């Protein structure tokens, strides 16, 4: 693979990976309250606790949408910052 | 100067890493949707086992359950095999010393254009076949889903009455969410029609290297991947919307599961959508910045 193409592809996927990381961190929401499963659900199927952990139960649909919107903006902003810093550094270095 | 002369092991493994990340994430997402579908079907079957259901309904439901499970297994196996094949080919080509290649023109992306032209020319039949298969599959599922509730006092009619006559907005919203995978496919189709087709005219296929098997393989993967990846999601969404809503009102356990399952689905769909939105927006912004930088540098 050509170095320029490899570099281009790395930067092509970088914002997407940034988005996934930020989106996951926002969804995990470490300050969220622990929500126990309903009694009848826990009695009926103990596996539910595995499939739907407390942080999923504590999430609301609105919370998921908010995390998505925030992650889109944060990841684009982070990526833009990286690109601009790199461009500035290269332009500074290329000056005589 | 070839990049193999810089630092062969490090550079090659860096390329391997970069080229493996995308497929790994795609396979993980496919596996995740498949597992979730199987899980949902299993839980629904368990809850139905405890309910007295008409024999005809149970038989029909079992058939659609088998069909969906079979589709998921086929999709998972085919995606896995194709990725394994692609990955092996790619690794083999990376680790083999190649002749010196001049770097492509960064402004024109001529190599990308030629590759895309080649992709567009060889994959037309695949695209048409995939479109026909996916549409037929979608219609077939809808047909089965429509036929099934007739034995249980009209689930479809109830769904339409509940979500369309009472509140058309919610009904259309649910259908729109269920149709998200189809939109994804239409998006890929539009990319092929508006980007690849003009490039095909610009770069005739006669000029292109015909023996490049890697491009050929990646072509089929690039075209089939969205359909294969989203097939479990289509099945899952149709089942969730048409069957799940009915049972969530009956059984509190199913109601809880339905809501949690919807959360997982929403998280996954927004994750896939966000990955695409951010990636392509960033690409557009980067091209704009580079164009501005090159323009100002040339002046």
**Distance between CA atoms of B293 and B275, rounded to whole angstroms?**
26
ipTM of the predicted structure? Answer: 0.84
Tell me the chain A residues in contact with residue B111 when contact means C-beta distances shorter than 8 Å: 5
Which of A18, A64, A83 is nearest residue B286 as measured by Cβ atoms? A83
User: Who wins on pLDDT, B233 or A39?
Assistant: A39
> How far is residue A88 from each of residues A96, B57, B121, B291, measured CA to CA in Å?
15, 67, 41, 15
- Is residue A72 pLDDT above 90, yes or no? yes
B163 to B66, B86, B153, B156: CA distances (angstroms): 28, 45, 17, 10
Model pLDDT for residues A56-70, shown as the tens digit of each residue: 788 888 899 999 999
Give the C-alpha separation, B198 to B117, whole Å: 8
User: Which residues from B are below 8 Å from A75, CB to CB?
Assistant: 278
pLDDT of B26 higher than 90: no
State whether B274 and A23 contact (CB < 8 Å). yes
CA–CA distance, B289 with B297 (Å, rounded to integer): 12
- What pLDDT score does A70 carry? 95
Nearest to B15 among A6, A16, A65 (CB): A6
Token duo for residue B249: 């009102």
**Measured distance CA(B123)–CA(B129) in Å, rounded:** 10
- Selecting from B257, B266, B275 the residue whose C-beta is nearest the C-beta of A64 gives B266
Q: Which of B120, B113, B131 is nearest to B197 (CA)?
A: B120
Cβ-defined contact of B282 to A15 (cutoff 8 Å): yes
- Name every chain B residue with its beta carbon within 8 A of the beta carbon of A72: 274, 277-278
Determine whether the interchain pair B104/A2 forms a contact, defined as Cβ–Cβ distance below 8 Å: yes
Residue B99, exposed/middle/buried by CB under 10 A (0-12, 13-18, 19+)?
A: exposed
Cβ <8 Å between B18 and A23: no
Query: If you search the block for the tokens 């199927």, which residue do you land on?
Result: A45
Distance from the Cα of A31 to chain B's closest Cα (Å) equals 19
- Judged by CB atoms closer than 8 Å, whether chains meet at A83 and B257 is answered as no
**In the predicted model, is pLDDT for residue B20 greater than 60?**
no
Residue B125 has pLDDT above 60, yes or no: no
What DSSP letter does each residue of B29-49 carry, written as one string?
HHHHHHHHHHHHHHHHHHHHH
Question: For residue B62, is pLDDT > 50?
Answer: no
Nearest to A9 among B18, B39, B104 (CB): B18
Residue B299: C-alpha distances to residues A83, B160, B295, B296 (Å):
22, 63, 6, 5
CB contacts, 8 Å: B104 with chain A: 2, 4-5
pLDDT band, residue B267 (cuts 50/70/90)? confident
Predicted local distance difference test score (pLDDT) of residue B77: 53
Identify the pLDDT of residue B281.
85
Could you tell me which residue, A29 or B114, shows the higher pLDDT?
A29
Name every chain B residue with its beta carbon within 8 A of the beta carbon of A83: 286, 289
Asked whether residue A71 carries a pLDDT value surpassing 80, the answer given is yes
pLDDT at B283: 81
Average per-residue pLDDT for chain A: 80
B110 CA to chain A: closest CA distance, Å? 12
Q: How far is B188 from chain A (nearest CA, A)?
A: 17
Confidence of residue B132 (pLDDT cuts 50, 70, 90): low
- Show residues of chain A in contact with B277, CB under 8 Å: 72
**Is residue B284 within 8 angstroms of chain A, CB to CB?**
no
């Amino acid at each position: 693979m050509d170095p320029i193409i490899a570099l281009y592809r790395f930067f092509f996927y970088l914002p997407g990976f940034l988005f996934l990381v930020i989106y996951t961190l926002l969804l995990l929401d470490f300050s969220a309250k622990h929500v126990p499963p309903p009694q009848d659900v826990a009695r009926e199927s103990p596996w539910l606790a595995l499939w739907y952990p407390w942080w999923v139960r504590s999430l609301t649909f609105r919370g998921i949408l908010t995390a998505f919107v925030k992650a889109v903006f944060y990841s684009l902003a982070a990526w833009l910052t990286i690109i601009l810093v790199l461009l500035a550094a290269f332009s500074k270095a290329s000056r005589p | 100067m070839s990049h193999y002369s810089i630092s062969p092991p490090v550079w090659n493994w860096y390329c391997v890493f970069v080229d493996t990340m995308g497929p790994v994430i795609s396979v993980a997402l496919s596996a995740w949707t498949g597992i979730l579908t199987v899980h949902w079907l299993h839980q629904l079957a368990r809850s139905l086992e405890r309910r007295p259901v008409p024999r005809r309904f149970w038989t029909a439901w079992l058939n659609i359950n088998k069909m969906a499970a079979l589709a998921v297994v086929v999709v998972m196996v085919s995606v896995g095999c194709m990725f394994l094949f692609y990955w092996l080919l790619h690794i083999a080509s990376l680790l083999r010393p190649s002749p010196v290649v001049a770097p492509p023109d960064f402004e024109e992306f001529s190599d990308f254009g030629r590759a895309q032209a080649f992709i567009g020319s060889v994959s037309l039949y695949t695209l048409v076949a995939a479109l026909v298969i996916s549409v037929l599959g979608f219609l077939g599922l809808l047909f089965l889903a429509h036929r099934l509730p007739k034995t249980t006092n009209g689930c479809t009619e109830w769904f339409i009455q509940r979500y369309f006559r009472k509140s058309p907005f919610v009904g259309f919203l649910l259908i729109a969410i269920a149709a998200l995978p189809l939109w994804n496919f239409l998006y890929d189709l539009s990319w092929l029609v508006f980007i690849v087709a003009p490039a095909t005219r610009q770069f005739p296929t006669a000029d292109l290297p015909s023996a490049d098997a890697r491009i050929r393989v990646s072509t089929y993967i690039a075209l089939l991947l969205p359909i294969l990846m989203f097939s479990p999601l289509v099945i899952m969404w149709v089942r969730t919307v048409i069957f799940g809503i009915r049972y969530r009102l009956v059984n509190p356990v199913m109601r809880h599961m339905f809501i949690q399952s919807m959360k997982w689905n929403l998280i996954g769909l927004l994750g896939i959508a966000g990955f695409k939105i951010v990636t392509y927006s960033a690409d557009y912004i980067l091209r704009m910045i580079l164009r501005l930088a090159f323009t100002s540098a040339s002046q």
